[in-house]
């Protein structure tokens, strides 16, 4: 039987897989807003939210859905240097590699962007914008202002970065989309659908209001925290299943094991 807990556990490995995207109210709303802004002349879109709220997944999903329709590029790994970033951009613009030893001249990029205006509209998805220095974000904004490149960037917002995000981005009349932690209803749907995706209909049906309420209380509805908790929960189940199966009540999700998992990750303290 243990394979089923092993597999259920693996359903909650924290990975970004577009094939496992789950439609939830919040994610659907954000996606619609993104689709809508693709059609508008808004130059930059900022997706922001706390770590683990699904920004990267949303960006990947948008890429998957739109790549056949519009000229869209995904820069999911932040460039380590300014030069690397412009190499990538050069490739996007021209389809060629920037010749070695060529100096990156920002003005040339701007001139290029102006030249293609009306002929091409390029969408660049940029994940983890908090990794870029302010000066580069400013250059990205200038490039966006040409109207031929639309940057859609994600920024993860922690409590103190919030201020930076607000000042630097929201004051610039960019379109902003905020991703939030899940409501209990969304978290319920998330857990059920995640288990169903992996064929665990029976296990899914064992997550009732009581369990969801606790999971929501401990994780605040954060998807990443929820993944951690459920991964650990099924790890505990896996252990007892192998070593002491009499301890397991297969007809419900044990609150005790949930608490053990929460203690193990440090969500609650004894
Ligand atoms: N709508 C959704 N459907 C399925 N899985 C989701 C959804 N939203 C979030 N997740 C899952 O939650 C986890 C965190 O998502 P993601 O990595 O996209 O967060 P993030 O906001 O980019 O975090 P960070 O700020 O740390 O980069 C991932 O495992 C992701 O697959
Ligand atoms: Mg991310």
Return per-residue pLDDT of the chain as tens, 270 residues.
Answer: 557 899 999 999 999 999 999 999 999 999 999 999 998 876 789 998 999 999 999 999 999 999 999 999 999 998 989 999 999 999 999 999 998 888 889 999 999 999 999 999 999 999 998 888 888 888 998 999 898 999 999 988 766 665 555 566 655 557 889 999 999 999 999 999 999 999 999 999 999 999 999 999 999 999 999 999 999 999 999 999 999 999 999 999 999 999 999 999 999 998
- Tell me which of 17, 29, 56, 221 to substitute to probe ligand 1's pocket, judged by most ligand atoms within 8 Å of the beta carbon: 56
Question: Which ligand 1 atom minimizes the distance to the CA of 128?
Answer: 27
For the CA of 14, the nearest atom of ligand 1:
29
Q: Indicate the helix (H) or strand (E) that contains 149.
A: strand 149-156
Length of the chain: 270
**Lookup: tokens for 58:** 């949303």
- Locate 35 and state its tokens: 């689709």
CA distance 266 to 189: 25
Neighbours of ion ligand 2 (CB under 5 A): 55-56
Q: Which residue, by CA, sits nearest to atom 1 of ligand 1? A: 22
The first and second tokens of residue 245, run together, are 């199966």
Q: Ligand 1: residues within 6 Å at CB?
A: 14-16, 20-22, 24, 27, 49, 51-57, 156, 223-224, 227
User: Which residue is it, tokens 């990538």?
Assistant: 88
Look-up: residue for tokens 């919030």? Answer: 162
Tell how far the Cα of 52 is from the centroid of ligand 2, in angstroms: 7
Contacts of residue 36, defined as CB under 8 A and 6 or more positions apart, other chains included, come to none
- CA–CA separation, 196 vs 204, rounded Å? 7
- How far does residue 111's CA lie from ligand 2's centre (Å)? 32
Q: What is the pTM of this model?
A: 0.93
């Amino acid at each position: 039987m243990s394979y089923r807990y092993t597999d259920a556990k693996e359903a909650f490995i924290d990975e970004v897989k577009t094939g496992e995207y789950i439609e939830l109210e919040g994610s659907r709303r954000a996606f619609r807003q993104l689709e809508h802004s693709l059609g508008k002349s808004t130059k930059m879109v900022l997706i922001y939210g706390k770590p683990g709220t699904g920004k990267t997944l949303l960006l990947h999903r948008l890429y998957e859905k739109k790549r056949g329709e519009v000229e869209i590029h995904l820069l999911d790994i932040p460039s380590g240097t300014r030069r690397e970033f412009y190499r990538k951009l050069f490739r996007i613009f021209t389809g060629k590699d920037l010749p070695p030893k060529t100096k990156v001249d920002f003005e040339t990029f701007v001139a290029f962007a102006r030249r293609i205006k009306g002929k091409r509209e390029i969408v660049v998805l940029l994940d983890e914008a908090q990794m870029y220095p302010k000066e580069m974000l400013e250059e990205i904004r200038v490039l966006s202002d040409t109207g031929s490149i639309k940057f859609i960037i994600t920024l993860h917002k922690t409590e103190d970065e919030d201020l930076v995000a607000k000042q630097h981005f929201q004051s610039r009349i960019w379109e902003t989309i905020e991703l939030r932690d899940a409501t209990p209803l969304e978290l319920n749907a998330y857990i059920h659908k995640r288990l169903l995706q992996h064929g665990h209909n029976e296990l899914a049906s064992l997550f009732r209001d009581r369990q969801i309420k606790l999971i929501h209380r401990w994780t605040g509805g954060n998807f990443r925290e929820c993944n951690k908790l459920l991964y650990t929960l099924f790890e505990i189940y896996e252990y007892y299943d192998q070593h002491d199966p009499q301890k397991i009540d297969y007809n419900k999700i044990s609150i005790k094991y949930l608490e053990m998992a929460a203690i193990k990750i440090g969500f609650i303290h004894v």
